[in-house]
Amino acid sequence: MTVSGSQGAYATPPGPSTGPALNADGYHVSNIGGGLYWVTDSVYQAMFLVTKTGVVLVDAPQTIGENLQRAIDEVTAISGKPSTVTHLVYSHSHADHIGAASIFGAEVERIGHVETERLLRRDDDPNRPPPTVTFTDRYELAVGDERLELAYHGPNHSPDNIFVFSPDYETLMVVDVIYPGWVPFKSLGLSQDTPGWFRAHDQILEYPFATLVAGHLGRLGRRDDVVIQKSYLADLSDSVRAAATTVDAQSHIREHGANVWAAYQSYADEVCARAARPVVTKYADNLGAADVYTTAHAASMLETLRRDRGELDLFGIRP
């Protein structure tokens, strides 16, 4: 089955890509284990930990907004524990993931990486107050009878993106790296440090987690979601390498003459279209939007092979 879009017809995502149905208010909340819960609007995700002294919220996505507190109230009404958010952890500084942070008031203790503080002070956005507590490498957050382990493993999607681990519930939250059931968002997740983003896949697998909160889309992740995304990216990398060295670069140079950028863009367009085809065919039944974003991913892969890894020059010739 296909659905129509402005760029033509796209395949319907495979069944395992989608998550649970949303309620009448437009969100889904459920328990991961013990006091740990997750909430989604099928596009974004947040996580929260209910303790005997208050709630620890990890991220405050713009699109979920006030439904974050509704989800917390729904859970705590049953448990009888306090519903007040006392601590708010920022995964990173981007507005789409913490743009609703201000709704929890000035008394909330906000925890983030030191780079997150720098970026938020630079951005001066009242919807994203800077963290009040910062760390450089690791930080253990203990609230009431619960705990989270925060760690920074270097830049990946953003310069400040952190890992949030709940050892008691074998749950890891890492945002904008893995997209459970789907290919990554366009252009390798719009990552600012592509080599670091690739490394983050292996860093994730070093954690003893069973459940992954990935920050996006409608379902929780598992270890095999990390493995299949790594496989998808490895196949795409191989396909881009092959296409880059077999497409006739000289024909594009002759066609565009002195306009070097036009020649390269024309060459790259052919490389990416050729590289994407077999990858889309292989993963269309396993990953949502393989037909939507694989060509864009191929373009980013071509640039990282050329620029970051030094495997190709501007027109695909191996150095």
DSSP letter for each residue of 8-64: EEEEPPPGGG--PPP-TTS-EEEEEETTEEEEE-SSBEEEEEE-SS-EEEE---TTT
CATH architecture of 2-221: 4-Layer Sandwich (3.60)
Average pLDDT, the chain: 95
**Residue 4 scores a pLDDT above 50:** no
Of 293, 286, 236, 215, the C-alpha closest to 13 is: 286
Q: Between 249 and 1, whose confidence is greater?
A: 249
**Structural tokens at position 240:** 């881009």
Note the pLDDT of residue 5. Answer: 47
8 contact partners, CB below 8 Å, separation of at least 6 = none
8 Å CB contact between 265 and 252: no
List pLDDT tens digits, range 238-278: 999 999 999 999 999 999 989 999 999 999 999 999 999 99
What is the percent of the chain where pLDDT is above 70? 97
List pLDDT tens digits, range 144-172: 999 999 999 999 999 999 999 999 999 99
List pLDDT tens digits, range 91-136: 999 999 999 999 999 999 999 999 999 999 999 999 999 999 999 9
Q: Where are the domains of the chain?
A: 2-221, 231-308
List pLDDT tens digits, range 39-74: 999 999 999 999 999 999 999 999 999 999 999 999
